[in-house]
Amino acid sequence: MVVGDFPIETETIVIGAGPGGYVAAIRAAQLGQKVTIVEKANLGGVCLNIGCIPSKALINAGHRYETAKHSDDIGISAENVTVDFSKVQEWKGSVVNKLTSGVEGLLKGNKVNIVKGEAYFVDANTLRVMDEKSAQTYTFKNAIIATGSRPIEIPTFKYSKRVIDSTGALNLPEIPKKLVIIGGGVIGVELGSAYANFGTEVTILEGSAELFAGAFEKQMTSIVSKNLKKKGAEIVTNAMAKGVVENEDGVVVTYEAKGEEKTVEADYVLVTVGRRPNTDEMGLEQVGIEMTERGLIKIDKQCRTNVSNIYAIGDIVAGPALAHKASYEGKIAAEAIAGHPSEIDYLGLPAVVFSEPELATVGYTEKQAKEEGIDVVAAKFPFAANGRALALNSTDGFLKLITRKEDGLVIGGQIAGPSASDMIAEIGLAIEAGMTAEDIAMTIHAHPTLGEITMEAAEVALGTPIHIIK
């Protein structure tokens, strides 16, 4: 211990101020705990700074540009539609700044002590927090680890000026003429769609047989694939990226598909093949915290590690790397520390892709239910039969409601269509509340809205559809 480094005491210390950490800190403070939160970079974590929020801002900007250029079919045309990409980036930054400053205000408003620096465990009740100039020791009763994840780097595609990760793709100084994306998962498809809307020639190289590696039903992903191809994107599945040659003006990517080796030129190559948990170099071995082979921290139903006063949440524990999962787990951990009987239950956990059209799923799919021996009704209703979707000129897609055959209990739902990300919440609520198809069908939905599609699907499940022929 350095001279003058007197330990500072706190009840609960949270490591990481992303959507998991800052939510955990606020909830712990609300429950009467003295809380300190430690963050080495910016408040809001990856999600607010270089992930969810800036990507959605970029997606929105691209969509507006594409709509301005291509609305002839509804009688609207514009000449010389231009993009000032530096202004787009400036606006995106302003959105991020509003939210990150908002997080700081929320933490301070809940009397959470904010500390900048890197945290390192000394033992099960002690942390060292270091920055470039100093180090400070903190003692605590309970700790919540919420350090998130970082992009995986492929050895043959080392990050550089032209070989970029998602952060680099969000901060490009110009719209690339050509972009190769390695990995057709959520991040690859979302950023690929955004740049395709700006006019970029996009090539997606996906290692599996379809986009999202089978995480969504083929009926859903095929609609996204079709729309990407309409925008001029090329999607190569079962493709293996082999290497890259970089020059001053761009890259040449070599890949293998159908037994042939091919090359594609681009301004940049974006690598989005997954994320790695940030569990290294923080002294977890000092405390004896149990990990999986992938570097994930093992937890129980209350997000508690094998060390009883240390909890872990978000991307560093098992399950999908989703901001809303991290926030949910953060509340559970804070409540568990306060002695509440809260436990994690992921059945109502939605997953969303901000593609075109949007995709969303929650609870069981038809296939998952059948694999578990649950007899279900899969009730489907198309966006094309909905007045609001027709008025929006966005009729691609469908909603599928999964109900238990014996009693109509809602156990899942999948949506491919406009505003799927917003609509999925109603099905999630139905699952959490133990509602049936009849409950949804009997709920009066405003007309004309996309929300009516959920009601219509519930009526299909009951065998009494109004707006499609049975």
66 is in an annotated binding site: no
Amino acid symbol at 84? D
Integer Cα distance of 150 and 166 in angstroms? 10
Integer Cα distance of 230 and 224 in angstroms? 10
Three-state DSSP at 18 gives coil
Indicate if 447 belongs to the active site.
yes
190 is in an annotated binding site: yes
77 is in an annotated binding site: no
149 is in an annotated binding site: yes
Integer Cα distance of 403 and 408 in angstroms? 5
Length of the chain: 470
339 is in an annotated binding site: no
207 is in an annotated binding site: no
367 is in an annotated binding site: no
Q: Return the bridge partners of 12, or none.
A: 35, 142
DSSP 8-state class, residue 153: P
Give exposure, 348-364, as e/b (b: 16+ Cβ within 10 Å): bbbbbbbbbbbbbbbbb
Q: What is the Cα 287 distance to its own chain's centre?
A: 30
Are 339 and 33 spatial neighbours (Cβ–Cβ below 8 Å)? no
185 is in an annotated binding site: yes
For strands 410-416 and 398-404, give the pairing.
antiparallel
- In Å, what is the CA distance from 91 to each residue of 46, 60, 85, 137, 469? 18, 11, 10, 39, 47
175 is in an annotated binding site: no
Q: Is 274 left (phi over 0), alpha (psi -120 to 50) or beta?
A: left
186 is in an annotated binding site: yes
189 is in an annotated binding site: yes
Are 294 and 210 spatial neighbours (Cβ–Cβ below 8 Å)? no
280 is in an annotated binding site: no
Look up residue 53 and give its two tokens: 């929020």
Look up residue 29 and give its two tokens: 């403070």
- Selecting among 63, 70, 340, 447, the annotated active-site residue is 447
16 is in an annotated binding site: no
Feature table: binding site for FAD: 56, 147-149, 315
Feature table: binding site: 56, 147-149, 183-190, 206, 274, 315
> Which residues have a catalytic role annotated?
447
Feature table: binding site for NAD(+): 183-190, 206, 274
